[in-house]
Every structure is written in C-alpha cells, then in structure tokens.
A and B are shown apart, each in its own frame.
Chain A
Amino acid sequence: MITFFRFLIFVVPISLFSFLYFFINDNDYYPGADLRVSDMPTFELTTLYDGSKINNLDLKGSFLINVWASWCITCRIEHGFLVNLSSKNIPIVGLNYKDEKIDAVEWLNKYEDPYGLIIHDFSGSLALDMGVTGAPETFLIKDGKIIAHFSGEVNKRVWGDVFIPVIKKEKVEWNDQI
C-alpha cells in the first residue's frame, strides 16, 4: 500500500506536467494565435484618408489586416516590423480601430505608413465581427477567408512561428517575398 502510494505520488504529477508540456509544445498551440479558417465578415465602411466607401468585395486576393489605433502603445512597438514587411511588398490593410480620424492620420504622418489601404472602423463594428478583443491584432486573409488570426504584437518571432508556416502551407501568392 505504502509502495503504491509512493509510486502514485510521482506518476500523477509527472503525467500532468508531461501532458501540459506536450500541450504547449504542440504545433497547433501558440498563445494568441488562432488558425481556424472562417469567412471574412461583410462590411460597409469608409477609408481613412479620403472617406470613400469600401466593402468586403473590394478586398481581393491575399493580404494581411492589421488592427491598430493611435492610442495603442503596442501598435507603435509593432510598427517598425510592419514597415519592414511592407517594404518587401507584402500587402497590409490597416483597420483603424475606435480611433479619431485626425489622431490616426497624425500618427501615420509621424511614424510612416505601412498600409496600402486603411479602413476606418470608428465604432469597432467590423473588428467586433472579426473577433477583435483589442489592438493590435493581425489577420491573414486569402480569397475572402480568414486563415490566421493573431492577438498581440507581431514581431519577427511571431511572424516566423505563426504566419510563415500558414503562408507556405496555403501557397499565398506572395509566399516567395517573405
């Protein structure tokens, strides 16, 4: 009985910790990343600079959507990396989230604009439909489908761990530019 107890006292925690170890080392698990495929929600909003109308059908092909705001400090940290991506001709659509237009434009003038196009989502309605909980968040879209979603700052490591494998696997048009 005592021997069994001495044995049990090891086996239970060791199996618990090994399970958790395998769980967090699993390929499909990455904190903040969600690789389930879903449809890009329909929307009707305006662009940030000229206020012209834009909807989901205007967005074609494969691109990143980066949710940012001028009030978001982490977005500023992330910004340099996005500028770097856009210099490699990777298309990034900005989704300006719950932000005043003047603040957002001023912010972009100050730090450089990595976005090909910016959607102004003042009420946060599109962001809500996409499942955004805060800024920054980044989505990878291919032909109207969300194929990757990351909450938090995208940096070199996240890009390598989360986005590049998906880009390669799904054979995104610009997979040779990364």
Chain B
Amino acid sequence: MLVQIAHFLSILSTGLFFTTFLFSFFFSNKDINITKLISRIYSHGFLLLLTSFLIYVYLALDDNFSVLYIAQHSNSLLPNFYKVTSIWSAHEGSMYLWIVFLCLWGFLYSYFVSYEDVLKAKSLGIISIIAVGFLSFLLLTSNPFETILPVAPIDGADINPVLQDPALAIHPPTLYLGYVGFVIAFANAISFLLNGDKNIIWEDSVRIWSISAWVFLTVGIALGSWWAYYELGWGGYWFWDPVENVALMPWLAATAFIHSLSVSSKSKLLRIWTILLSIMVFSLSLFGAFIVRSGIIDSVHSFANDPERGLYLLSFAGILVILSLAIFSYRLPLLTSNKNIVSFSKESFISINNIIFGTLIFSTMLGILYPLIYEYLYLQKISVGAPFYNAIFVPSTILAALFLFFSIDSKWQRTYKIVNTYSPMILSVILSLLITVLVAILYKISNLWILVSLYTGFLIIIRYIFVIFNFFFRSKYSNPYSISAHIGLGLLIVSIALNSEFSSERAINIKLKGNDTYMGHEINFDNLELIKMSNHDSVRASFIVNDPKGKRFILSPEKRKYFTRGQITTETAIHATPLKDIYITLGDQLDDGSWIVNIQFNYFIRWVWFSAILMALAGSLLAFSLRRAN
C-alpha cells in the first residue's frame, strides 16, 4: 500500500512541476504575485516528491521486499545504514535520488532568492520542465515502485558487496548534488536569454549556487577516486574510465564557468563564454547520465538496461541542448560587449583559460566517442586509454598553470605592469627552478615531462606563498579563496608528477612463513586465517613488513566471499604515511601452495586527494562568504 502512495505522490509532483512550467511561460513574469504563486506550486511539488522519497526510504528500512527494486538490492541482514544506501546502488533508485536532488536545488533557489528577481519565475519553470522530463523517464522506463506480487520474496538479493562501504554511501549523492546543482545556472542563463534584457546581471545571483555545486562535484569525484583506490583495489587515483571521464567533463566546464562567471558579473565581459559554459556544464551532466545509463559503453559503473532508456535520455538531452543553443544563437548579438578585452588583463587570462579547458573537454569527449564511432564503422571494439589522455592533459595543464602564474599579477581591465611586480615573480621563477633542480639531482629524475610539471607546480605554490606573505606583512589585499584553490592546483600537479615518477608495483609469489624483499622492505608472510562473518567468509593474510629504517608493521589483506551473491572481493591493506602508501592485495593461491601478492608503493597519493579537498574547501568558504554578502 505504502509503495502505491509513494508512486502516486511522485506522479502528483510531476503534475505540479508541469503546472509550474505552464504558469511561468504563459503568465507575465513582471507580476510579483505570479512569481509567488509559481514558487509556491513548485515548492508543493517538491514537498510531495520528497515525501514520496522518504516513504521509499522507510520501505527500504522496513525490508519491504514486495518492492522489486528493494528486493533486488537490499537484504534483511544489512545494517540500516546500507539498507538506505542500497537505494542508490543501481539504476532506478539512483535516478530517483538524482531527481530529488535536482528538485531540491530548485526548492532552495525558490526559497532563498527574492521574488523581485525578474528571472526567478522563468528559471523555476525551466527547472520544472527538466524535472518533468526526468520524472517521466523514471516512471515510464525505470519505475522504482514496481512490485513483485502476489508473493513477495522472503529476503532480498543483497547489495553488491563492493558497495558496502561508507565512501560509496556518500560518493554518489555528493556527485549527483554536483551534477544537478548546475541546473540553477543553466535555468537562469536560459531565462536571461529568453528575457532579452541585457541589463539584467544574472551572473551575480547564480554565483553562490554554481560555486556550491562545483564544491559538491569536486568532492564527489575525489571520493569516487578514493573509493576505487582502497575498496575496489584499483591501486591508483585515476584510470580514465569512461564514467570517470563523464564526471570530469562537467567538472572542467564548471571550473571554466565559475572563472568566467566572476568576470561577467564584474564587467559584463566574456558573457558569450559564460552563457555557453553554463549550457555546457548542464548538457555535459545530462550527457554523462546518458552514457552511464544507456549501456553504450562498458565500464564498472554501467547499469544493465534496456534500449528505451538510452533513447529516452538521448532524445530528452538532445531537445534540451539544441533548444538552449538555438536561443543562445538567436540572442548572440545581445551578448557581445562593446568593450574590448584589454590584453594581459585578468579577463584575457581567464579567456585563455576557457580556451584551454574547452580543448580538454573536447579531447575527453573525443576519447569517449572515438571507440563508438570506430565500432559503428568497423564493428570492432577498441578502447582509448591513458596514453591518449596523458598526451593531451599534461601539456595543456602545464600551459594553463603557466598562464595562471602570469595572471596573478594582472589587473582587471588593465594591462600588465611588469615593474611593480618584478621581484616576487622573478624570485619564484628562480626559487622553483632551484627546487626542481635539487629534487632532480637528489632523486635522479630525468623524465623531462615530470621535471617540467614539477617546475610549474612549484612555481604556482611559491608565487602564492609570496602573495600570502604580502597579504600578512604588507597588508596587500588578495583573494584568499583564489589563493587556496590555486595552491591546491599547484599541489595537485606536484603530487601527480611525483606519484607517476616514484610509484612502483610488483607481484610476488610467497609461501606461508616465507619472505621476500621489495624496495628495501622485507616482507614476511606470517599468518593465514579463515574468518567466518555474518554475510561472508574471509581469508585474511598477515604480512609483517620491516622497512629499511627498522620500523615494523603488519598488513592484513583479505579475500572475501559473500554468501548471497557468491561474489569474491579483495580487501586491500594499506600502510599510509604522509609520503607514501604501501598497498598490498592478495591474489590467487597457486598449486604449490604459494600466494600471488601484489605490492605497490604509491607515493604522494594522499596529496592528490588533499589537493582536491583544498580546492573544494576554498570553494565552500567562498560560497559562505557570498552567502553573508547577500
């Protein structure tokens, strides 16, 4: 019964969202009372949808296995925490959550933004029609409310064991909040174009929303990377998996967008870029949803599915994107500014940044589509891997970082004055060169790309250290959010370079009580025990590792076999220090009784995530400061 109520409420909310859309497009947006009415209808639609979702959460907690989706993905033995997270462990439920989040952003927007905002009514209408599109997709092709009647199974099939992990419980929701958060910017941009009054500064009101969404996207991607590292046992932070790429593209577009946004809201320059990027961010999020949920590519993330889903998402995204671009193209004359961008001003550097990010997005898109085009033409499956992406991302990122370095001293709408900023710039160039040479000699690094990357990374960090120094001791104002986010970027470049230079791995065959040495570490296979747990059996190996400095520690990787699905998972054991991770996974047992053990030394890998967190932190502090300013 409850499931039917939840189902009905979600249908009802679809109706209310559609009404919101109709009202916002057919009534004058100048009347504040109409805007109030539209906001109210929207909010009621959202509250119904939220109630429906909360009932669904209750059904999952209550082990209601007459609901097909819950029976397929949950189990009565699961802790309550995982009963809830099992909702977004597969297609239908995760789509449901996606939509709830989409509407939540709209709700917060309708709550916090003043009725005086002329773009508000139409923006809510656009958000509503997107919600209607997705809700119809959910209800027509991927209904999470489907039941198994008349007899419900006694127990559910259990959540996939690799998903029984706290990082996974928060990784998809965070990522979704990021993806759909850009709906506010998108809706405002389209609403601005429809309105056609170029004196409206839509860029100001969407800044806080876009930066918050960007923070969620950044954290979501970082969490996914961390989860793949320690739970899936992939042993690295990035694999250019197609689904990682479809998350990276909106992130790149969003990063370019929030930079461009600050220019447009200050000086109405780069407006074409800003609007185009806002359309791009949201379109790429939709494209990501299509790629993941159509089964068009093979990936760890792809859901088993039917052909209708892909077709629906493709058509919906296609209509939305092409309509937006049509309006954009129609209103293009409105967006051109009679002011020119001054060479070597901050705006000029940001537009260069936009071009570089555009190139990266285009290349990533090519990497995803090329195998599809090839398959279509030659009926053969190929894959585009790390070498392609590295060849493009490494030089482009270095180039972007160098432009960033020069942009630090640039001014808004004024050209570069090299005299004033002479010393910290030259000093950073020299200091980072010295550090790079020192590191190269001490650690015998000869790869040119690594050295160049290290150099640019150090350049940015050192330059910003000077900025911080001036900030505190010469009270020269500078933007603290920009400083910490960009130090994060410098740190990211340095840690990725060091990680790829120093990390190494080896697979060894080792018998119980045997020992081996790798990278000066003596590894003793001390013990092997069989552990019986409530939902799985586990083989746990214990290795005593003696490092060259005489420190000793124990690492216990496991192999688990889960009862309900018979799935075997590998639990890694990691000894983490600030500089490096020693990472052990247990492979198969050979006929002679020895075990294959994979040992990795991952250098600076924690710094990769730390850099991402630093960027996200800077973003969230900025969002808070904008909130206070409003």
Q: Which residues of A contact B (CB under 8 A)?
A: 2, 5-6, 9-10, 13-14, 16-17, 19-26, 28-32, 69, 71-74, 76-77, 97-99, 124, 134, 151-152, 157-158, 161
Contacts of B372 in A (CB 8 A): 19-20, 23
Q: Are B376 and A23 in contact, with the CB atoms below 8 A?
A: yes
A137 to B156, CA, bound (A): 19
Contacts of A20 in B (CB 8 A): 290, 296, 314, 372
Q: Are B304 and A152 in contact, with the CB atoms below 8 A?
A: yes
- Could you say which of B320-328, B397-405, B475-483 contacts chain A? B320-328
Contact with A along B552-596 (1 / 0, CB 8 A): 000000000001111100000000000000000000000000000
Max chain B Cβ within 10 angstroms of own Cβ: one of A10, A21, A71, A74: A71
Chain B 323-369 residues near chain A, CB threshold 8 A: 325-326, 328-329, 332-333, 336, 369
Contacts of B373 in A (CB 8 A): 19
- What would 18 A/B residue contacts be, using CB atoms closer than 8 Å? A9-B325, A9-B328, A9-B329, A13-B318, A13-B321, A17-B318, A19-B372, A21-B315, A24-B314, A31-B296, A31-B306, A71-B565, A71-B566, A72-B565, A73-B68, A73-B156, A73-B157, A98-B566
State the Cβ distance, A35 to closest chain B Cβ, in Å. 10
The total of chain B residues at the interface (CB under 8 A) is 44
A146 to B565, CA, bound (A): 25
Q: A19-B376, A31-B305, A134-B304 are in contact. List 9 more A-B contacts (CB 8 A).
A: A2-B336, A6-B332, A9-B325, A10-B325, A13-B283, A20-B314, A28-B379, A31-B296, A73-B71
Contacts of A32 in B (CB 8 A): 295, 304-306
Contacts of B314 in A (CB 8 A): 17, 20-21, 24
**Given contact pairs A31-B294, A31-B296, A151-B304, A99 touches B376 in the complex (Cβ within 8 A):** no
Q: Are B72 and A73 in contact, with the CB atoms below 8 A?
A: yes
Max chain A Cβ within 10 angstroms of own Cβ: one of B295, B333, B564: B295
Q: Are A76 and B310 in contact, with the CB atoms below 8 A?
A: no
Q: Are B158 and A71 in contact, with the CB atoms below 8 A?
A: yes
Contacts of B311 in A (CB 8 A): 21, 24-25
Contacts of A31 in B (CB 8 A): 294-296, 304-307, 309-310
State the Cβ distance, B374 to closest chain A Cβ, in Å. 11
Let me know if B153 is at the binding interface, CB within 8 A.
yes
**Given contact pairs A31-B295, A74-B72, A14 touches B322 in the complex (Cβ within 8 A):** yes
Let me know if B200 is at the binding interface, CB within 8 A.
no
Q: Are B322 and A13 in contact, with the CB atoms below 8 A?
A: yes
**Looking at the complex, which one of A17, A26, A71, A76 makes contact with B376 (CB distance below 8 Å)?**
A26
Contact with A along B50-87 (1 / 0, CB 8 A): 00000000000000000010011000000000000000
State the Cβ distance, A6 to closest chain B Cβ, in Å. 5
**Looking at the complex, which one of B296, B305, B333 makes contact with A23 (CB distance below 8 Å)?**
B296
A18 to B451, CA, bound (A): 44
Contacts of B304 in A (CB 8 A): 31-32, 134, 151-152
Let me know if B435 is at the binding interface, CB within 8 A.
no
Let me know if B533 is at the binding interface, CB within 8 A.
no
Please give me the residue from chain A that is nearest to B321 by CB atom. Answer: A13
Contacts of B305 in A (CB 8 A): 31-32, 152
Let me know if B148 is at the binding interface, CB within 8 A.
yes
Please give me the residue from chain B that is nearest to A135 by CB atom. Answer: B565
